[in-house]
Amino acid sequence: MLLPIITRGDPCFTGLIRYNYQGRPLYFKVAFIYNNLLAIYGESFRMRVIAFANQKGGVGKTTCAVTLADGLARKKLRVLLIDLDPQGHAALSLGFQKSAGLYHFLSLEEPLKNLVVHARPNLDLLPGDKLTEKVKHQIALMDFRKTILSDHLTGLDYDAVILDLAPSLDVLHINGLSASDWVVIPTRLDMLSIDGVKEVLLTMAELSQSGKCYRGYSILPTFFERTTKETLSQFRELVQTFSGHVWPPIPQDASVRAASAQGKTLWETSRNTSALLGFKNGRQFQGGFNQVLERLLEVIRDEKE
């Protein structure tokens, strides 16, 4: 049974948590607060940071981050995609080689403009590679370690920053969640992946106890198959538990893998595929990256209004 962790309301919240004998949260109620309203709403044109996170791997997280980052760029937003995963797959998905951009940015304090790859019109990429592991070890030894990434992002000239987080609960994962305004949690519709969703939400709740203020979060079902009983059962349970936090699902589609293999996004290779268009329901389409992109644009536009 999923826990009803966070409900809609004012973007700024704090959690009231009970713990088990191991010190892990059992549940919490969300109390929305209105402090620091000037600081929050006075920054009408501040860059927005959106993390893609799930503590379970293999859920399509990087594909979602890359596809939607390129989608935002095609809508004329200035976007920076940052790869926080040592696997460095964001660069490969866009047709570039892995490189130690993140390491040079966070550890060596080199200027971002010297490190980004201009991946597409309006889309810059700060790539990562195995040296990202070294970044984790260095941050773990620093004071105020949770805000290292957030501090480095201050003052950047982008409309949106997309963070592709690694599927592990480490200091860089915590930095990504701490730096984010909004968190998108891609998930397969199986028990282990949805457990990863709950772990992300519990981590967000713990960070909120230390004063972190989130604007919100969304759960993005991936690899959706309408003919699979477990898929439909888990999807219904997600919707019943998290209601409007569940975004339209991304259908299972072989063209996604083919696009990544070419170093291209779906917008460039397969504009008529189900992963973009969704499922046909009568004369309309449901789900797919087209609808999810519109949801993400609403988040960013609402943030700026």
Q: List, for residues 88-126, the tens digit of each pLDDT value.
A: 999 999 999 999 999 999 999 999 999 999 999 999 999
In a domain, 57, yes or no: yes
Looking at residue 228, its pLDDT comes to 85
Q: Which of 75-84, 173-182, 226-235 has the lowest mean pLDDT?
A: 226-235
- CATH code, domain with 237: 3.40.50.300
Tell me how far the alpha carbon of residue 281 is from its chain's centroid.
28
Which residues span the domain enclosing 93? 40-304
Bridge partners of residue 31, in order along the sequence: 14
Cα 150 to Cα 77: distance, rounded to the nearest angstrom: 21
Banded model confidence at residue 229, pLDDT cuts 50, 70, 90: confident
In a domain, 9, yes or no: no
Is residue 76 scored above 90 in pLDDT? yes
Looking at residue 227, its pLDDT comes to 82
Contact (CB, 8 A) for 105 and 89: no
Looking at residue 259, its pLDDT comes to 93
Q: 45: which DSSP letter?
A: T
In a domain, 2, yes or no: no
Q: pTM of this prediction?
A: 0.85
Count the domains in the chain: 1
* % of residues, the chain, pLDDT over 90: 69
Is residue 26 scored above 90 in pLDDT? no
Contact (CB, 8 A) for 100 and 131: yes
Is residue 145 scored above 60 in pLDDT? yes
Banded model confidence at residue 68, pLDDT cuts 50, 70, 90: very high
In a domain, 238, yes or no: yes
Looking at residue 144, its pLDDT comes to 65
In a domain, 3, yes or no: no
Banded model confidence at residue 303, pLDDT cuts 50, 70, 90: low
Looking at residue 44, its pLDDT comes to 41
In a domain, 195, yes or no: yes
Query: Tens digit of pLDDT for each residue in 244-273?
Result: 999 999 999 999 999 999 999 999 998 889
Cα 175 to Cα 144: distance, rounded to the nearest angstrom: 10
**Separation of first and last alpha carbons in the chain:** 37
In a domain, 117, yes or no: yes
In a domain, 5, yes or no: no
Is residue 6 scored above 60 in pLDDT? no
